[in-house]
């Protein structure tokens, strides 16, 4: 299982929200590159970079930060947040993203998301399957849809999706544990899916549990920033 540290961006700064609430914002570092280099120096090779300004606005905003991190680190960056058009996607890839995550676009403009899959392939396009109360949440988690999680994933797997980031919005940023039961069901039902667990990861033991469930990856954000999981502790996953 790969460990994927997260950097969330507002005004170009490294922040974390609680349960996706923009009013519950904490700034951890004003220099995302410094944070990314710290992750890289610990042996981590992947990075989940989220443009929270873009997610709220509906178009890419923090692409210069993406470009800076892609230029000055060797990390494989998955970029998400506000990618709603072909132009947004072009900018993200030209600025150095190795992969992008599309969630809102897969709900509100599925034909566009499908065209991205067909053009760039399933290795570069990740499905964002973020959920709240069992239903898909979009638009920076500000909007809950009526689409249930499993049918949503099943639909896009049938269209060629092979990787999905699945975040329980209700647990994100609380450091009270992730949706282990949900991930257990998903990994059992869809063993061919590269499932990346996200939201609420709070301890090294929990990472071991997610690994034992055969999750492809786990995104860690606040647990790193708050010292609940130390970068020196993750060597067994590298």
What DSSP character marks residue 168?
B
Nearest to 167 by CA among 196, 194, 139, 204: 196
Residue with tokens 């410094």: 34
Active site residues: 8, 130
Q: Counting every residue, how long is the chain?
A: 238
E runs forming strands in the chain: 2-10, 13-18, 21-29, 46-51, 76-80, 99-102, 125-128, 131-132, 135-138, 143-148, 163-167, 194-198, 217-220
3-class state of residue 165 by DSSP: strand
Helices (H), 58-140: 63-72, 86-94, 104-108, 110-120
Q: State the angle between helix axes of 63-72 and 86-94 in degrees (0 to 180), rounded to the nearest 10.
A: 30
How far is C-alpha 100 from the chain's CA centre?
A: 9
């Amino acid at each position: 299982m790969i460990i994927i540290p997260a950097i969330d961006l507002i005004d170009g700064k490294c922040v974390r929200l609680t349960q996706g609430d923009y009013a519950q914002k904490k700034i951890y570092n004003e220099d995302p590159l410094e944070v990314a280099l710290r992750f890289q120096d610990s042996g981590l090779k992947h990075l989940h970079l989220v443009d929270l300004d873009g997610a709220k606005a509906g178009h890419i905003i923090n692409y210069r930060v993406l470009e800076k991190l892609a230029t000055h680190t060797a990390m494989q960056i998955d970029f998400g947040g506000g990618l709603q058009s072909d132009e947004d996607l072009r900018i993200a890839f030209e600025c150095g993203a190795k992969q992008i995550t599309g969630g809102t676009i897969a709900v509100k403009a599925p034909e566009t998301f499908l065209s991205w899959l067909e053009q760039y392939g399933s290795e570069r396009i990740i499905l964002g399957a973020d959920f709240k109360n069992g239903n898909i949440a979009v638009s920076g988690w500000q909007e809950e849809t009526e689409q249930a999680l499993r049918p949503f994933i099943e639909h896009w797997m049938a269209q060629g999706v092979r990787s999905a980031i699945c975040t329980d919005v209700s647990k994100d940023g609380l450091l009270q544990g992730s949706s282990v039961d949900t991930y257990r069901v998903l990994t059992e039902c869809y063993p061919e899916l590269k499932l990346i667990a996200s939201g609420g990861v709070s301890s090294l033991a929990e990472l071991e549990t997610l690994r034992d469930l055969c999750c492809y990856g786990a995104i860690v954000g606040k647990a790193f920033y708050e010292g609940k999981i130390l970068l020196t502790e993750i060597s067994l996953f590298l």
